[in-house]
Amino acid sequence: MTRLNRRTFMHAAAALLLATGGTAGAADWPDKPLRIIHGGGPGSNSDLIARSAGQQLAGRLGQSIVVEPRSGAGQSLAMVAVARSAPDGYTLAMLNAGIVSQTAISSKLPYNLRTDFEPIAMLSSFPVVIAVRADGPYRTLADLIEAARKAPGQLTFGAMVGTTQHLTGEMFASAAGIQWANVPYPGSAGQITDLLGGRLDAVVDSLTALMGQIKGGQLRALAVSSAQRWPTLPDVPAVAETIRGFDVTSWTGLAVPAGTPAAIRERLEREVREVVASEAYAAQVRSYGSEPHDMGAADMKRYILGDIDRWKAVADAAKIKMD
């Protein structure tokens, strides 16, 4: 069965069950465990947020929720798995800003973010951090910018290619009027190791990935990408304090396959937003350097479409293309 026919069959089967009052009916949902699939590795930001949200959501729905990491192919393995799942509310995708940036720079992904999924609600937000070695020569963001201007194209920053971190690094360079070179890495661990070893000048990565080394004193956070200072790092300036108007906030959220019944989507949206508003969830995500992010389905869909356009403009200006 081809991919298209298989998906069409599964959507039609789910619709038939709903129409005939089968166990997939919205009134009976959920009557079995759910799963959240994400494209990060174990212990990644997506994994931590999915487990925190899943734990709280399971209590509200009265069903267990299994979190399944499926890393690889720029998160495409996870996204395809969800897109091909039955649209019955039992399989959710963990979306994040990185998936949006992939859509912005590639026209050959094996899924369509715009049409294969229905957003449910946001879960968290967090800044990207520009960090250097604590014992290195750069004490402030202005120091880094000055060094880059004196040696155009010579300074390096580590970031996973095509990610929000990578594009944030390029957006920063354009806004600061500098040229620096991205050194691509498959994940955070390698670039942090090379930064500490003196083989990179800086890294641009999520706060979750860098938190341990920043708090431990091995890395110095020069700036956070959010419009204002971040609650977890109140002593670290925002990029906007040096470059007016700079604002990048990464995020996570949940979605379901297109064709999922509206009644199930609406129930999920209500329950997820209650989770995000809870003190228990807030305490967990803040321990990862994130903040709860309350946004419903309609606003989340508009936000994603706007983010795609924004990152496409950044990628086009930096001549970044993944095809």
Compute the distance between CA of residue 52 and CA of residue 46 in angstroms, rounded to an integer: 10
Report yes or no on 323 lying in a domain.
no
> Distances in Å between the alpha carbon of 215 and those of 61, 139, 208, 235, 242?
37, 16, 11, 12, 23
Q: What counts of helices (H) and strands (E) characterise the chain?
A: 11, 10
pLDDT at position 21 over 50: no
Report yes or no on 182 lying in a domain.
yes
Q: Residue 179 maps to which CATH number?
A: 3.40.190.10
pLDDT, residue 17, reads 47
User: Please, what is the average pLDDT of the chain?
Assistant: 92
Same-domain status, 192 and 205: yes
Decide which of 194, 216, 241 is a domain's last residue: 241
Report yes or no on 30 lying in a domain.
yes
Asked if residues 124 and 50 have their Cβ atoms less than 8 Å apart, the reply is no
Same-domain status, 131 and 106: no
Mean pLDDT throughout 118-136? 98
Q: Which residues, in sequence order, are bridge partners of residue 117?
A: 257
pLDDT tens for each residue of 251-266: 999 999 999 999 999 9
Same-domain status, 109 and 164: no
Mean pLDDT throughout 75-94? 98
- Token pair 């700079």 in the structure block, residue: 246
Asked if residues 118 and 151 have their Cβ atoms less than 8 Å apart, the reply is no
Same-domain status, 14 and 122: yes
Report yes or no on 283 lying in a domain.
yes
Report yes or no on 322 lying in a domain.
no
Same-domain status, 23 and 119: yes
> Which two tokens mark 87?
């649209």
> Distances in Å between the alpha carbon of 5 and those of 17, 84, 302?
18, 11, 29
- CA contacts within 13 A on the Cβ side of 39: 25
Mean pLDDT throughout 273-285? 97
Same-domain status, 76 and 216: no
Contacts of 262 (CB under 8 A, 6+ apart): none
Q: Residue 98 maps to which CATH number?
A: 3.40.190.150
Mean pLDDT throughout 239-247? 97
pLDDT, residue 146, reads 98
pLDDT at position 293 over 70: yes
Using alpha carbons only, give the angle 184, 186, 192 rounded to the nearest 5 degrees.
Answer: 75
* Structural domain count, the chain: 2
Compute the distance between CA of residue 304 and CA of residue 118 in angstroms, rounded to an integer: 11
pLDDT at position 158 over 60: yes
Compute the distance between CA of residue 145 and CA of residue 173 in angstroms, rounded to an integer: 9
pLDDT at position 60 over 50: yes
Compute the distance between CA of residue 162 and CA of residue 311 in angstroms, rounded to an integer: 10
Same-domain status, 7 and 111: yes
> Distances in Å between the alpha carbon of 227 and those of 84, 208, 230, 240?
37, 18, 9, 6
Same-domain status, 22 and 114: yes
pLDDT, residue 24, reads 45
pLDDT, residue 188, reads 92
Single out the residue of 41, 45, 94, 39 nearest to residue 288, CA to CA.
45
Residue 238 has what DSSP assignment? B
Same-domain status, 234 and 151: yes
**What is the domain extent for residue 157?**
127-241
Decide which of 210, 241, 272 is a domain's last residue: 241
Cβ-based neighbour number of residue 280 at 10 Å: 11
Asked if residues 148 and 176 have their Cβ atoms less than 8 Å apart, the reply is yes
pLDDT, residue 20, reads 43
Report yes or no on 280 lying in a domain.
yes
Report yes or no on 85 lying in a domain.
yes
pLDDT, residue 94, reads 98
Question: What whole-number percentage of the chain has pLDDT above 70?
Answer: 92
Report yes or no on 246 lying in a domain.
no
Single out the residue of 170, 165, 168, 171 nearest to residue 185, CA to CA.
165
Single-letter amino acid, residue 112 = N
Could you give the residue ranges of the DSSP H alpha helices within 130-163? Answer: 141-150
Same-domain status, 12 and 115: yes
> Distances in Å between the alpha carbon of 207 and those of 5, 31, 45, 191, 211?
42, 37, 9, 14, 6
Compute the distance between CA of residue 195 and CA of residue 271 in angstroms, rounded to an integer: 42
Same-domain status, 10 and 115: yes
pLDDT, residue 25, reads 61
- Region of 290 (left: φ > 0; alpha: ψ -120 to 50; beta: rest) is beta
Decide which of 180, 212, 241 is a domain's last residue: 241
Same-domain status, 148 and 175: yes
pLDDT tens for each residue of 181-224: 999 998 899 999 999 999 999 999 999 999 999 999 999 999 99
Cβ-based neighbour number of residue 130 at 10 Å: 26
